[in-house]
Amino acid sequence: MDARLNYFAVPSAGKALKYLMSAGRELKELPLPATTQELVALRVSQINGCAACIDMHTKEAAAAGESTVRLNLVAAWREATVFTEAERAALALAEQGTRVADAATGVSDDVWALAAKHYDEEQLTALALLVSIMNAGNRMNIISQHPGGDYQAGQFH
């Protein structure tokens, strides 16, 4: 399966994408645990059905030492015992921030308060940016039908 589009082959799109990818790299420097970032990125990608991003974030998390059990249970995190309360709060925020059309109200006050209990303002900002950027990247890959499976951990670093 080949992607419909190669965004990097179009000079103007490649230039714009450079900034989006740069923003993603900058997020890695914010004080949100790397594990949380990968779990959130993976969950957002699962919800959106983005094979390329699921592939990428599963492999990046595994390369960073994340366990197979936790990676396999991200899709059912509510029923899993392997996530911390802080991770669960981040995953709840990621889900509601991704399912804005389904939830109509976006992120509820309860979910926000739970996240704010575990993360400071800088970390909450990082979570909000991460969810937003992941949703943008997922949509670009879905529109172009970018396939998953060939990603190598560290490929875009």
Q: For 43-76, write each residue's pLDDT tens digit.
A: 999 999 999 999 999 999 999 899 999 999 999 9
Whether 4 is covered by a domain: the verdict is no
CATH number, domain of 85, equals 1.20.1290.10
Whether 130 is covered by a domain: the verdict is yes
Does residue 4 sit in helix, strand or coil?
coil
Predicted TM-score of the model (pTM): 0.92
Whether 100 is covered by a domain: the verdict is yes
Give the mean pLDDT of 108-130: 96
Whether 23 is covered by a domain: the verdict is no
Whether 24 is covered by a domain: the verdict is no
Question: DSSP letters of 54-96?
Answer: HHHHHHHHHHTT--HHHHHHGGGGGG-SSS-HHHHHHHHHHHH
Whether 12 is covered by a domain: the verdict is no
Whether 7 is covered by a domain: the verdict is no
Q: How many domains is the chain built from?
A: 1
Round to whole Å and give the CA distance between 8 and 131.
23
Domain range enclosing 41:
31-144
Whether the predicted pLDDT of 120 surpasses 80: yes
